[in-house]
Structure formats: structure tokens, C-alpha cells
A and B are shown apart, each in its own frame.
Chain A
Amino acid sequence: MATTRQPYTKQFVDAAQSQIDRNRERAKKGLEILLAREEPAVGMTPKDVIYSRGTLRLYHYRPWTDEVYRVPIVLVMSLVSKPWILDLTTGQSFVQHLLQQGFDVFMVDWGVPRPEDKNLRIEDYVDDLMPRCFEEVQKATGEEEYTILGYCMGGQLALMYGGINPDAPIKNLICAATPVDMEGMGLFKTWTDQRYFDLDRLVDSVGNIPPDLMLRSFEMLRPSDRWFSYVRLLDNLWDPMFVMGYRIMYKWTNEQIPFPGETYRQYVRELMWENKLMNGTLDVAGKRVDLKAIKFPVFNAVAEHDHIAPYAATRPLTSLVGSDDTEDVTLKGGHVSLVAGKNAIGRLWPRVAEWLGERSV
């Protein structure tokens, strides 16, 4: 009997010991978090600002390899959040992955809109600032062609740019979590119902949409997430990797930035209410956004459980463009885990690098 019981006793002792160790680590890490003054270092990949205007910064990341692909890649970020989601810490940075794979990487960071930016419209971004950045990329690399990678709203801006400039030397376009069919925007669509939502009154009153309002609306999509995340943190406090990841994502989620007022007005009216990007009736700077005129290769990465840009809104993208070379990649996970974290590291990043490598020579 003793010989059969012994393993279970050992198992029980091991489990108890493991729980004691974990609780000790929990207490230690909990104190560290409570007393922490230093925020996690993010977006630290060495880079140079090669162009700036207002709050806009165009970064050129320092190459990591002696030989890079001919075509540079320009990351166009969303107006809604901080850009360092694509450049978290070492080992968790999409930018670093691209650099390792031999790409020459640039990033358009729109910065934090100031009150005087409330009059910026979509055309200011798409028909003025973006082309100016691409010119700088061309100067810096000596290459005519460039690839655009747009995340979330950055993908929409890239699509609009491609749609009004069919002759632009865009080699490839990669969109990640980019909504095109705004009928599929779920709760956002419901909350901005024209019958009840006085868009003009809001924009006229506040100028730029305050970051707090933006944050609350994102949080309301999954109202219990914050509280459950605290419970998960407590459960995983013993695990340094989990704690680090949590702190980084907490910082990113809570560093919400204001949304330029006039762009918001235009976005809600023309995209959310009238679904013009999907219907092919959107005009930017007096030019029709003709997605069928997009003939360069398009890669569309969507997340199956994206609660911000739902699958129904992001999925149709490649069916709207005129390119024969398109690829759709649907991954499990959500809006953020599509591009950052384990899911992205193991699944999306290698796919993007492989697809892009073939088309960047």
C-alpha cells in the first residue's frame, strides 16, 4: 500500500510547495507593482526621426542586417492609440522582427493631437501628411517603391491613400484589423445611431474627442474585462513574464489619446453612418476612393474574435480591391493579440515576413 500512496503524497507536497512559492512571488511582485514608479520601457528600438510636422513624426528604424530587401516598409499607425503597440519590448516587438528579417522599416506616428488639431480632416492625413512621409522615405532609401502596413485605422488611411492614388508606387499593402464594412462594427454602430447620437453637438462642444471618452467607449465593449484582468493578474503575479506583459498592455490601453474632432465627425458621418468606404462612394480631397483601382498585392490579417474591429467588418477587405494578388489570413484572438503577444509572434509575424519577403525584391 505504501508504495502506491507514496507518489500521491509526493504530488501533494509538490503542489503545496509550488503554491507556497507562488504566493511568496505573488506578494513580492504585488508590492513591486504597487510601489513601482518606473513604467515599462516600450518603443525603444533605435530609430531616427527623419521628418516631423506638427505632432507627426516619421521614424526610420536603424537596420539590423547588412543586407536589406530593396523595398522599404512604412508602418502607418492608427489615430486612435499609441503607435508602440508594434514595438513593445525586446522579443515582443513586431518592428524588431521585421528588422531581424532584413526589412528597412519606417513608421508614421501621428502623435498626440493638440487642441489646435481639432480641424484636421481625413484629407489632411491622406492627401497631405502621408504623401509627404512617403516622399521622405523615397529620399532616405533612394527607392521609388514602398510597402505600406496599416494597423486598424492606419489600414483605412492606407486604403484611402491607395484608392485616390492608383498610380502611386505602392509595392504592397498589408492591413491588420482594418474595418471596411462599417455595418459590421457591432456596438460602435449601435451607439452612434443617427437617431439618438448628436454628432455635431459633441464635436462642436469638445473639439477633439477627449481620451477619457474614447477609453470608456472601448472599455464598454467588454465591460467586465478590467475587473477580470485584475483577478488574472493576482492569479499570475508569480510569473514575471505575465506581469511584464500585463503592465505593458495596461499602459497601452490606458494611454488613450484624443481623436481629432473634424476627423471624428467625418469618420462617423461618412464611414460609420453612410458606409462610404464599403460602398465605393467615399471622396477624399475631392477625389473618389476607388478601391478597385488598387492593383498591387494586398495582405489582409483579421482576428476572429476582434471586439473593436469585428470580423464582419474586416473580412471583406480583399474583395473590395482590384488586385489579383491578395491573401486573407484569419487568426484566432483579438484586436491586439493579432499583432502583439504570443499569438502574433508565432502566427502572424512569420506569415507577414514570408509574404512580404517574396514581394520586396
Chain B
Amino acid sequence: MADGNGRTESASADPTELWRNWLTETERQVNGFFNEVMGTDAFSRVAGNYMDGYSVMQRSLNQGMERYLNTFNLPTHSDIVELGDRLGSIEERLTTIEGNLRTVSEKAGVDPAASVTQLKPKRTRRPKSQKKNSSS
């Protein structure tokens, strides 16, 4: 779109537009550069070594912390995981009981979904294209 003096609309519209375009382009180039570096075999090797170091450190930290907490008679990570496991199995048993209760309620003719939405819309909706076809 050009105005009466032959200037384009984009040139006169927003002076910060150039800066925004530069920002987008710079971002693309920076990402492109790093992606190229990180896509090399050498980077994979370095990343692999880092992950090895991370794993070793994590393991020693866990073991050290476990010993420390045991010394002070405090619950350790494994104790909490074990508790979580036991809670999980209680939850599962509750779910089973709930399921059984639902079956019994259904057999007794009681609506088991009292807390769940009671909205039961008709399941007869058709797409517009098929409505047109059926009306014609």
C-alpha cells in the first residue's frame, strides 16, 4: 500500500517494527548457531559425560542423605516412598470398594453418580452438512 507521496505503509507505520524484525532474526540466528553446536558428536560426548557426573552425584547425595537422616532418626526418602506405596494400595482398595458399591447401587436401582453431573444431553447431534442433506 503506497500513499500519495509514494511511501509504503510499512515504512511509515511503526518505527519500532524494524527493531522487532531484527529481534526475531537475531533470535533465529542465535538459536540456529547453538543448535548447530549442540548437534555435533563432540557436544553429545560432553552431554553424556555431564549426565554421568549428574547421575553419580545424585546417587552419592541420596546415599549420604539417607545415612545422615538415619543417624538422626528422621524419615528418609525411601521411608516416604514406602509410605506413599502403602497409601497407594489403600487408595486402590478404596477404588475397588467404590466400584463394587456402585455395582450394588446400580442393581438396587439407585443412581450411584450422585456427586457427578446429572446433565444427560441427548446424543443425537448431527453436523451441519448432514442436517442440510436430511432437510433437502
Q: Is the CB of A231 within 8 A of B23?
A: yes
A10 within 8 A of B: no
Q: Is the CB of B58 within 8 A of A205?
A: yes
Give the interface segment out of A60-68, A80-88, A248-256, A292-300.
A60-68
Q: Mark B3-29, 1 if CB is under 8 A from A, else 0.
A: 000000000101110001001001100
B contacts with A: majority SS: helix
Q: Mark A205-244, 1 if CB is under 8 A from B, else 0.
A: 1100000010000001111110010011001000000000
Q: Is the CB of A197 within 8 A of B51?
A: yes
A104 within 8 A of B: yes
A67 and B88 in contact, given A48-B115, A205-B58, A206-B58 (Cβ under 8 angstroms) = no
Among B15, B48, B62, max chain A CB count under 10 A is at: B48
Nearest residue, chain B, Cβ from A46: B117
Task: Report Cα–Cα, A53/B90, bound state, in Å.
Answer: 11
Identify which of A69, A232, A235, A354 contacts B125 (C-beta below 8 A): A69
Q: Is the CB of B91 within 8 A of A63?
A: no
Q: Is the CB of A358 within 8 A of B84?
A: no
A90 within 8 A of B: no
Task: Report Cα–Cα, A354/B45, bound state, in Å.
Answer: 48
Q: Is the CB of A115 within 8 A of B52?
A: no
Q: Is the CB of B91 within 8 A of A54?
A: yes
Interface size on A, residues (CB 8 A): 55
A63 and B119 in contact, given A53-B91, A222-B31 (Cβ under 8 angstroms) = yes
A50 within 8 A of B: yes
* Chain B residues, CB < 8 A from A68: 121-123, 125
Min CB distance B107 to A, Å, is: 14
Task: Report Cα–Cα, A316/B48, bound state, in Å.
Answer: 30
B75 within 8 A of A: no
Q: Is the CB of B52 within 8 A of A201?
A: yes
* Chain B residues, CB < 8 A from A65: 121, 125
Q: Is the CB of A358 within 8 A of B129?
A: yes
Q: Is the CB of A116 within 8 A of B85?
A: yes
Task: Report Cα–Cα, A196/B16, bound state, in Å.
Answer: 46
Task: Report Cα–Cα, A143/B81, bound state, in Å.
Answer: 39
Q: Is the CB of B84 within 8 A of A116?
A: yes
Q: Mark B38-61, 1 if CB is under 8 A from A, else 0.
A: 110101110111011011101100
Nearest residue, chain A, Cβ from B13: A15
Q: Is the CB of A191 within 8 A of B44?
A: yes
Q: Is the CB of B123 within 8 A of A48?
A: no
B80 within 8 A of A: yes
A361 within 8 A of B: yes
Task: Report Cα–Cα, A147/B12, bound state, in Å.
Answer: 51
Q: Mark B107-131, 1 if CB is under 8 A from A, else 0.
A: 0000001011101011111111110
Identify which of A54, A116, A187, A357 contacts B38 (C-beta below 8 A): A187
Q: Mark B71-101, 1 if CB is under 8 A from A, else 0.
A: 0000001001100110010011001000000
A67 and B122 in contact, given A115-B81, A196-B47, A205-B59 (Cβ under 8 angstroms) = yes
Q: List 8 A-B contacts (CB under 8 A).
A: A50-B116, A54-B91, A70-B124, A114-B88, A206-B55, A224-B30, A228-B30, A354-B127
Could you tell me which B residues sit within 8 Å of A by CB distance? 12, 14-16, 20, 23, 26-27, 30-31, 34-35, 38-39, 41, 43-45, 47-49, 51-52, 54-56, 58-59, 62, 77, 80-81, 84-85, 88, 91-92, 95, 113, 115-117, 119, 121-130
| Additional A-B contacts beyond A68-B125, A70-B125, A193-B48 (13; CB < 8 A) | A48-B116, A54-B88, A67-B121, A196-B49, A206-B58, A220-B38, A222-B35, A223-B34, A224-B27, A225-B31, A231-B23, A361-B126, A361-B127
